Amino acid sequence: GAVVSQHPSWVICKSGTSVKIECRSLDFQATTMFWYRQFPKQSLMLMATSNEGSKATYEQGVEKDKFLINHASLTLSTLTVTSAHPEDSSFYICSANPREEQYFGPGTRLTVT
């Protein structure tokens, strides 16, 4: 099956700083990737759809200036949490679907202190 990786797997940062999370498709090209956020003991919330070479599409209620998405190549999408605050602490997961099946990255746990 297709492999999606994320880096880092966990990160701790101070309030007010920015954090970048990478999502890579290792054995396929992905023109579209998805970013999800998962709160403890809750389901996944789709944040945005990342489109290679164009602007991301954000879901309603997600601040695009807060969560910057860049999809600069067919194998890499990045999510930057700008001016992070403790309420941004969460588990962030990316996915891609080379066929009619989505493959998920292992997730990145962000803790903002």
Partner 1 sequence: GDSVTQMEGPVTLSEEAFLTINCTYTATGYPSLFWYVQYPGEGLQLLLKATKADDKGSNKGFEATYRKETTSFHLEKGSVQVSDSAVYFCALLIRGAQKLVFGQGTRLTINP
**In the complex, which residues of this chain contact partner 1 (CB under 8 A)?**
1, 6, 32, 34, 41-44, 46, 49, 93, 95, 97, 100-107, 109
Q: Which residue has the tokens 């164009």?
A: 54
9, 30 in Cβ contact below 8 A?
A: no
Min dist CB 4 to partner 1, Å, is 8
49 by Cβ neighbours in 10 Å (0-12 / 13-18 / 19+) ranks as middle
**Nearer of residues 36 and 84 to partner 1, judged by Cβ:** 36
CA atoms within 13 A on the CB side of 77: 32
**Nearer of residues 71 and 105 to partner 1, judged by Cβ:** 105
Min dist CB 42 to partner 1, Å, is 7
Query: Under DSSP, is residue 11 helix (H, G, I), strand (E, B) or coil?
Result: strand
